[in-house]
Structure 1
Amino acid sequence: MPSPSGFSYDQRPDGTVVVWHHGKVAAKLRGPRAAEFVDEAESGDAQLVMARWTGHYKHGNERTARQHPRNRR
């Protein structure tokens, strides 16, 4: 599956993390969740981590579902 793109994140001085998707706010994380997110984003593929944390990603079964006999017309 290709890696999602278009994500970025900002760490604010107050500890808040804002995740952006194509220029729009996708998530705001505060406290221990923000720290956990930053640790995970810095240790792995940041684009994939941001997609998973925000829920903005495809599940990989779209082509399979489209080709299923009941969905063909």
Structure 2
Amino acid sequence: MPAPSGFTYSSHGDGSVVITHRGRRAATLRGDRAARFLDEVGSGDAQLVMARWTGSYKFGNERTARDHPRNRGRGRR
């Protein structure tokens, strides 16, 4: 699974944080959530943290789950 990429964030004077993905706004965090995000992004892999906070990432098991016996006959097939 490739690592997340293309995320950037900017912190504003009013305490808000804007996270963008490939130039498009993905999330805006304010207050306590913004502070927790800034703490976490400073202590870990910034790209992975931003992907997790925005929900813009995949787990890598989608194809495997689609082929699982309990999911056969659902969706595309």
Task: Give the alignment's TM-score, normalised by structure 1.
Answer: 0.86
Residue equivalent to 1:15: 15
Gaps of 5+ in 2: none
1:7, distance to aligned residue in structure 2 (A): 0.3
Gaps of 5+ in 1: none
Name the SS for the 1:14 alignment partner: coil
Matches of 1:58 and 1:33 in 2, distance apart? 22
Matches of 1:19 and 1:28 in 2, distance apart? 6
* Deviation larger for 58-67 or 20-29: 58-67
CA radius of gyration, larger in:
2
Matches of 1:68 and 1:28 in 2, distance apart? 36
Residue equivalent to 1:40: 40
Q: How many residues align?
A: 73
Identity %: 69
Moved >3 Å (runs of 4+): 65-71
Task: Give the alignment's TM-score, normalised by structure 2.
Answer: 0.82
Name the SS for the 1:18 alignment partner: strand
